[in-house]
Amino acid sequence: MNIVRAHRGQLFEYGPFTIRRLRPGERFGPLAIVDMTTLKLGARIPMHEHVNDDILSYVWRGSVQHTDPQGERTPLSAKRVMVVNAGDGLRHEESAPLIEAELLQAFIRPARAGGEAKTQLLERADGVAHNAWTWLAGPEGSAAPLTLRQAVHIYDVRLERGKTLAVPALPGFAPWLAVLDGVVNLEGQRLHKGDVAGDADALPEVTAERDATLICFLVDAEATGVMSGTVSGS
């Protein structure tokens, strides 16, 4: 088990927003970059383009407004998760016009370049499920509610203090677990907000020492992805 602790050296500050940028590494090849971003009230990431990026946008505190070039606004929160398959090209803008927000964005290298751009939403009235993993996204052809153009599965959970849960596992897939808030324990290792744990095979059970929001990626260790993505190719 490899643990990466959150530290200030991972932070980039751009005026009203702060980004903690993580690069999971070769073991998690297609999972190129994971950004944990704090957007202060009024923060705005201007209209910009993505090509050949699959992007998970996951808000766990506050709300973020997603705007497309036609001016259509979609609020994102713990009750609404978005995946963008940028394909041949897609433009969008993100902002926090109502309240400060915390946003995770994962940039995944798709298995092939190009294709029609697509935006997908998962809506859930009660937000993050407690003490049971929710399957958020999976590869094309799977039964996951959100589709990725890569062999990656994504899950989340709100784990209550004192509860223990097995981390998702699939043969041939490497797990990468991030603590978005709270405190958890894996085999005596205490993980706090912003800490991550990964392994080539499986991770041990996770126990919450404080209520915690967790997100887990399972990545096919043998999968290859295109290197031409706007962000995921960097």
- CATH number assigned to the domain comprising residue 51: 2.60.120.10
pTM of the model: 0.96
User: How far, rounded to the nearest angstrom, does the alpha carbon of residue 19 sit from its chain's CA centroid?
Assistant: 13
In a domain, 156, yes or no: yes
In a domain, 10, yes or no: yes
Distance, in Å, from the CA atom of 12 to the CA atom of 81, rounded to the nearest integer, reads 24
Which among 81, 88, 70, 216 has a CA at the least distance from the CA of 149? 88
The pLDDT, as a whole number, for residue 58 is: 98
165: CB partners within 8 A, 6+ apart: 131, 132, 133, 157, 159, 205, 206, 207
* Cβ–Cβ < 8 Å for 221, 101: no
Domain that holds residue 112: 2-220
In a domain, 231, yes or no: no
The pLDDT, as a whole number, for residue 198 is: 96
The pLDDT, as a whole number, for residue 221 is: 81
* 126-35-142 Cα angle (round to 5): 55
Which among 12, 20, 8 has a CA at the least distance from the CA of 180? 20
Domain count, the chain: 1
The pLDDT, as a whole number, for residue 233 is: 77
In a domain, 229, yes or no: no
The pLDDT, as a whole number, for residue 157 is: 98
In a domain, 147, yes or no: yes
Q: What is the pLDDT along the chain (234 residues), one digit of tens a residue?
A: 999 998 877 888 878 889 999 999 988 989 999 999 999 999 998 999 999 999 999 999 999 999 999 989 999 999 999 999 999 999 999 999 999 999 999 999 999 999 999 999 999 999 999 999 999 999 999 999 999 999 999 999 999 999 999 999 999 999 999 999 999 999 999 999 999 999 998 999 999 999 999 999 999 988 999 998 888 777
The pLDDT, as a whole number, for residue 66 is: 95
In a domain, 233, yes or no: no
